[in-house]
Amino acid sequence: MPLAKQDIENFKNKLLSEERRISETLASFATKNKGGSGEFTSRFPNFGDGQDEDAQVSAVEEYGTRLSAETILEERLRAIRRALTRIQKNAYGKCLNCKKDIPIKRLNASPEAELCGNCK
């Protein structure tokens, strides 16, 4: 059964809220690339000049953590934006693979879901 307009509006609001939250989180440790791609580049942590070896190791570890988080958050951001596009095109809530309705329970857990449980 297709989603009700109110359900779609609720999911849209959840997606927009999550998009803002993720963008703010990314901005706290990464710089948004120019050109409107929506991609970010992690900033190398600055622990001051004249770092000892332990501080340098910590900086490299922190940078690695930031890169991993950046990758995960950017992928989630792309999935959210794809879901928002599907809402605009009146295609939200349909499995991209089998074209059946995605159960509302799945959408509640993951509003950016592109596949139903069977195709996942």
Mean pLDDT within 89-99? 97
101 in a structural domain = no
Q: What is the pLDDT of residues 16-50, one digit of tens each?
A: 999 999 999 998 878 787 655 557 777 666 655 66
The pLDDT, as a whole number, for residue 45 is 64
Residue 98 lies in a domain: no
Domain that holds residue 87: 5-92
At residue 66, does pLDDT exceed 80? Answer: no
Q: How confident is the model at residue 73 (pLDDT cuts 50, 70, 90)?
A: very high
42 in a structural domain: yes
Q: What is the pTM of this model?
A: 0.79
What are the CB-based long-range contacts (under 8 Å, 24+) for 73-76? 73/22, 73/25, 73/26, 74/26, 74/38, 74/39, 74/40, 76/18, 76/22, 76/112
8 Å CB contact between 84 and 12: yes
Average pLDDT, the chain: 86
Split into its structural domains, the chain has a count of 1
Report the greatest alpha carbon distance in the chain.
64
89 neighbors 74 (Cβ within 8 angstroms):
no
